[in-house]
Amino acid sequence: MSETKTDTPKKLFIKTYGCQMNVYDSERMAESLEGYVQTDRPEDADMILLNTCHIREKAAEKVYSELGRMKPLKELNPNLKIGVAGCVAQAEGAEIMRRQPAVDLVVGPQSYHRLPQMEAQVRAGRSALDTDFPEEDKFAHLKGRSKARRAPAAFLTVQEGCDKFCAFCVVPYTRGAEVSRPADRVVREARDLVERGVREVTLLGQNVNAYHGGMTLAELIRALAKVDGLERIRYTTSHPNDMDDDLIAAHADTDKLMPYLHLPVQSGSDRILKRMNRSHTAESYLRLIERIREVRPDIMMSGDFIVGFPEETEADFQATLDLVEAVNYGYAYSFKYSTRPGTPAAERPQVDAAEADERLQRLQALITRQQRAIQESMVGRDLSVLVEKAGRNAGQMLGKSEYLHAVHIDNAKAQIGDVVPVRITRAMTNSLTAVEI
């Protein structure tokens, strides 16, 4: 039985948690595992990989409940191997196997180029653990990306890790120090993606605007703008202190760079920003946005906020609401502070949980109001849409505007991968409707 099976591809189920970089890493892991095809049914899989997130406690705990659900599948399929990748793997290492013995393999985000050897090891009946930060660059050792056709919008990691050490954040520990990929390799990967049907790339990095792979991020964006067939460029996530003049200028001089900027500030209170080790103030953040809006008045701003950071008072929180009012965000993501073991803020006096919940609700209500108003202001406007897939209703196509709004095009003639001008006809809660013009 096992002999006849050797030529049939084994099945891989990957579940991705957390940020866009994990989405990118999952794609690369799947491509590196030769002899596997992907399945979306864990019960059919010969290998289950959970690519995990450690940013907040809830995200990390989800992994253990999912592992508990996956474990009985091993009784149905004795060939099934279970692996944990990503930031929980990095942070907890061998502890994962102790807590859940059904786990065969644990691989951190900087060593997953070694996954094929690790897979062979677990097939040979030995467990495999690798949470190194190896000297070698994983991207240089990963198998080239496959030639299979891709969806029109893709992620492309250009920078990883963080040297900022915000007092609440695990990223500098799980993803390590800031490292940038060489620009020529990034451009080559973008060309490959374009050959496979990609029209838009989002350059990813935990601190993407600190990119220094032989050129700055602004220079990299301009180099990518010269790639024929690549129509749109985005980048995320940026730190306010790394937003240099040239990157701001690129928003004015590079048409392919989309008018959207994710620029987390975390809090509007200088007292809290200082305790967060953010090394900027609310005022400097607002001034920065003013400068960006001078060259690109329509830029759609996006942000991240943490409420209930240790020692946050009602007055501090009010300052956050004031900042949100002042910026007017198209998108904003707000989180209740989550204590992360090993980070400096974990040692500080915590805010009452009910108080933090209440603040989160107030902030989210304000953000939702802003988002709705901006979305409604799009009605009647002419935008451009990259068509990504067929919509739910007949004749409808679904894509993204330059501002990242999801747009349904009614009676569409446009095909997947086209960038088409549209007029917005209606604003719904999470998307816009449009007709081609």
The two three-digit tokens of residue 308, written as one number: 């209930």
- Bridge partners of 179? 160
100 within 8 A of 71, measured Cβ to Cβ = yes
CB of 89 to ligand SF4, least distance (A): 18
For the segment 170-199, give every residue that binds ligand SF4 (CB under 6 A).
Answer: 171-172
User: What's the CA gap between 397 and 379, in Å, rounded?
Assistant: 18
The option from ligand SF4, ligand 5AD, none interacting with 162 (CB < 5 to 8 A, set by class) reads ligand SF4
For position 50 contacting ligand SF4 by CB under 6 A, the verdict is no
The two three-digit tokens of residue 334, written as one number: 């707000």
For position 165 contacting ligand SF4 by CB under 6 A, the verdict is yes
User: What's the CA gap between 358 and 178, in Å, rounded?
Assistant: 35
CB of 162 to ligand SF4, least distance (A): 3
* Chain centroid offset of residue 147 CA: 23
CB of 323 to ligand 5AD, least distance (A): 14
Among 10, 56, 175, 251, binds ligand 5AD (CB under 6 A): 56
For position 275 contacting ligand SF4 by CB under 6 A, the verdict is no
CA dihedral (44, 47, 50, 51) positive or negative: negative
For position 285 contacting ligand 5AD by CB under 6 A, the verdict is no
Q: Which segment (223-231, 247-255, 336-344, 371-379) binds ligand 5AD by CB under 6 A?
A: 336-344
Q: Which segment (1-9, 164-172, 182-190, 286-294) binds ligand SF4 by CB under 6 A?
A: 164-172
CB of 237 to ligand SF4, least distance (A): 7
CB-based contacts of 309: which residues, under 8 Å, 6+ apart?
Answer: 168, 266, 267, 272, 275, 276, 337, 345, 351
Among 304, 355, 410, 436, binds ligand 5AD (CB under 6 A): 304
Among 261, 273, 306, 432, binds ligand 5AD (CB under 6 A): 306
Among 74, 164, 212, 381, binds ligand SF4 (CB under 6 A): 164
Among 55, 162, 230, 289, binds ligand 5AD (CB under 6 A): 55
83 within 8 A of 106, measured Cβ to Cβ = yes
Residue closest to ligand 5AD when measured from CB atoms: 304
Among 90, 110, 266, 370, binds ligand 5AD (CB under 6 A): 266
The option from ligand SF4, ligand 5AD, none interacting with 36 (CB < 5 to 8 A, set by class) reads none
For the segment 216-245, give every residue that binds ligand SF4 (CB under 6 A).
Answer: 239
> How does 332-368 read in b/e, with b if 16+ C-beta sit within 10 Å?
bebbbbbebeebbbeeeeebeeeebeebbebbeebbe
The option from ligand 5AD, ligand SF4, none interacting with 153 (CB < 5 to 8 A, set by class) reads none
Q: Which lies closer to ligand 5AD via its Cβ, residue 7 or residue 347?
A: 347
Q: Which string of x and - marks every residue 156-185 that binds ligand 5AD (by CB under 6 A)?
A: ------------xx----------------
For position 33 contacting ligand 5AD by CB under 6 A, the verdict is no
Q: Quick one: which of 60, 264, 28 has its CA closest to 173? A: 60
User: What's the CA gap between 116 and 337, in Å, rounded?
Assistant: 37
Q: Which segment (8-16, 335-343, 368-376, 428-436) binds ligand 5AD by CB under 6 A?
A: 335-343
The residue ranges that bind ligand 5AD (CB under 6 A) are 55-56, 168-169, 264, 266, 304, 306, 335, 337-338, 340
The residue ranges that bind ligand SF4 (CB under 6 A) are 162, 164-166, 169, 171-172, 206-207, 239
